[in-house]
Structure 1
């Protein structure tokens, strides 16, 4: 065969190889598109979640189809020795990346619907739902981290030099593991603390906690930190190990219901029974009261002539408890001021001297003359504070 004819045949073969490559890539994309349309169309009518899954995995599925199809039909022999190695390396790394992306998207697409259902659960089952949601989120994050680490390792091991280094590292895995464990001790400690919190049910998403004087809800719980949303919409970020090493209050561990208390310091003349009746009437008309518990008691008698009243009432959650306490406090103060002003706090003092210039024991008081030479007037024995 003449050189000219061989050149023509080579050109035709190269052109045909690239046409086959384009056809294979186009066929792969068409197959993925058909599957996406089936999931989003006919199958979504029977399984509503199929459409959401198709939308979430569409982009990585197309990338996976292009990379795998292109890698399978790539005419490596026509690229030359150096280009063949470089292109093959790039295709392998791209395939690992596309596969990792697809697996992560599939996992997230399958776990998002149950997480959404758990978020909408209210009532008595809310505590179990928050526990399951917290554990599912942490397990999903752990799985994602492991998949990414394995993918990075697989991509690195496609390089011959890295494989040689990896064999040496595996030979001294004990020493390497010890060094890595010492260097990453805080990170590993937070990782274990996060798992401990999630699976010991000590802390869950949306729990109401008090730590270091801060009241807030658990907005985010990861393997390294916990985000508390405070009452004024600030965010406090704590390391996970803080909640395993330091004491904290969990107001919603077993139930979200709480008892709120209101203290009043009033005079001894306050009508206790009438105030107790008024408290019950106010609670009946307040939608924040959960109709569970209430009481009004005298809990202390002070030497300055005051008594301490403690009113307690229950509510469905911490936010309702706070608002109910404020409402009850305002109502009781208004009722006492309007109907029993004599029961407001008063200060009792002992008055001296007497009008005749003698003290309580009958002794003369020297230098106590009133202006104009008269005796000093007798002051009131009871003064309003």
Structure 2
């Protein structure tokens, strides 16, 4: 093959190459092929950037440049080097190891290109299914499945790449053939040792496709309120309201109860309670409550109600129901109603604030009788 390629070169180049020392010729071939590969990568990148400038906020070409730029810087030169190996003047004993080394490097770089291509596809799906909507149930469902599938595909690519590299060594292939006889017993042992991890992995599959939780869902778990920030193959990350992170094993959401406030829709109903005196003019409070609800954009025009829901020994319980488009707006709306209703009661009906009443009856005055002064 080497003779065929060299004889297929132009006569001038062939005669010139034969005059060079082998080491200089080999270095020249390596340098030239690397330069050609980098030039090809540069041209491809410039074309992508040119088309990216003509697009809006999202650009598929911009995403390709961002994710594929570095992997292509290794992959294209390695492809060119693999093509140029027959041109090198090496002894036959060096060709095989060199091809093996370049093959391993090419496998690693190709795996990185595949992983980056998956990230490009993920960016495209994230653009199509954006979360910048009031009702983003479908978008969160797609993103949850995509995130799990992406991580699974990356794990498979890494596993297959490592397996191919190891199997490229003849000694390891022979060892692997001998180990096949012990796969059954070894599989049972590994299964017992890693049953928790396997359980989490199976739970991840179940969550990805049955979806009791999704990315950006609002959950209450372990007494904490937060949003689902990330779903991995083995655990779930919740971003709590105070920016802490709660890490839970993924099978937690299969085995234990929890609250999902956005399972069907992000819309939610909240409640505000006031405890006031029995002489409170409820109708006046109801009018003020309705005025406040109409004045705020936080209310989604669905639910508003003010009712006396309980009467205690010294106070009555007034519950105000409010609805909002999502839990964050519901929290702000509840705070808004609570603050303004308390201010209204303080300003207009201060006698309605809770008070204790005590009636004292049968009180007899115990006064000392006048005692005449006998010292006069």
TM over 0.5: yes
Are residues 1:225 and 2:235 paired?
yes
> Cα–Cα, structure 1 residues 58 and 332, in superposed 2: closer, same or farther, change >3 Å?
closer
Deviation at 1:207, TM superposition (A): 0.8
2:131–2:140 contact (8 Å) kept in structure 1: no
Aligned residues: 351
CA RMSD of aligned residues (A): 2.6
Q: So what's the TM-score if we normalise by structure 2? A: 0.85
Partners in 2 of 1:129 and 1:104 — Cα distance? 23
**In 2, Cα distance between the equivalents of 1:225 and 1:343?**
51
2:247 aligned residue: 237
Deviation at 1:314?
A: 0.8
- How far is the alpha carbon of 1:21 from its aligned partner? 4.1
Whole-Å separation in 1 of the counterparts to 2:26 and 2:328: 69
Give the corresponding residue for 2:39. Answer: 30
Partners of 2:119 and 2:214 in 1: CA distance = 20
What are the equivalent positions in structure 2 for 1:153-164 lying under 5 Å apart?
153-164=163-174
1:348 CA displacement = 2.8
Worse overlay, 108-117 or 238-247: 108-117
Cα gap change, 1:90/1:339 in structure 2, threshold over 3 Å: closer, same or farther? same
User: Are the equivalent residues in 2 in contact too, given 1:190–1:224 (CA < 8 A)?
Assistant: yes
Deviation at 1:116? 3.4
Return the offset for 1:131.
Answer: 0.8
Deviation at 1:98, TM superposition (A): 0.9
Residue 366 of structure 2 corresponds to residue 370 of structure 1 = yes
The worse-fitting range, judged by mean Cα deviation, of 180-189 and 241-250 is 180-189
- Give the TM-score, by structure 1 length: 0.83
Q: Contact conserved, 1:44 with 1:50, CA < 8 A, in 2? A: no
What SS class does the counterpart of residue 78 from structure 1 fall into?
Answer: coil
Given that residues 262 and 312 in structure 1 are in contact (C-alpha distance below 8 angstroms), is that contact kept between their aligned partners in structure 2? yes
Alignment check: 8 A CA contact 2:51 2:61 kept: no
Per-residue CA deviation, residues 34-64 of structure 1 (Å, 9 max, x unaligned), is: 3333333358748942243134213222311
Aligned to 2:310: 300
1:1-385 alignment runs, 5 A limit: 12=21, 15-41=24-50, 45=54, 48-74=59-85, 78-79=90-91, 81=93, 83-124=94-135, 126-302=136-312, 304-354=313-363, 357=364, 370-373=366-369
Residues 40 and 52, structure 1, Cα contact 8 Å, conserved in 2: no
Give the Å deviation of 1:140: 0.7
Contact 1:41 1:51 in 2 (8 A): no
Deviates more, 1:240-249 or 1:343-352: 343-352
* Alpha-carbon separation, structure 2, partners of 1:256 and 1:42: 38
Q: Which sections of structure 2, spanning at least 5 residues, go unmatched?
A: 1-16, 371-376
- For residues 324 and 111 of structure 2, the distance between their equivalents in structure 1, rounded to whole angstroms, comes to 48
Q: From the superposition, tell whether residues 31 and 285 of structure 1 become closer, same or farther in structure 2 (CA, over 3 Å).
A: same
Quick check: 257-266 or 172-181, which moved more?
A: 172-181
How far is 1:349 from its partner?
Answer: 2.8
Q: 1:112 aligns to what SS in structure 2? A: helix
Partner of 1:365: none
Query: Closer, same or farther in 2 for the Cα pair 1:301/1:254, shift >3 Å?
Result: same
What SS is found at the alignment partner of 1:62? helix
* Structure 1 gap segments, 5+ residues each: 1-7, 358-368, 375-385
CA 1:210–1:25: 2 relative to 1, 3 Å: same
Q: Distance in 2 between matches of 1:373 and 1:49?
A: 104
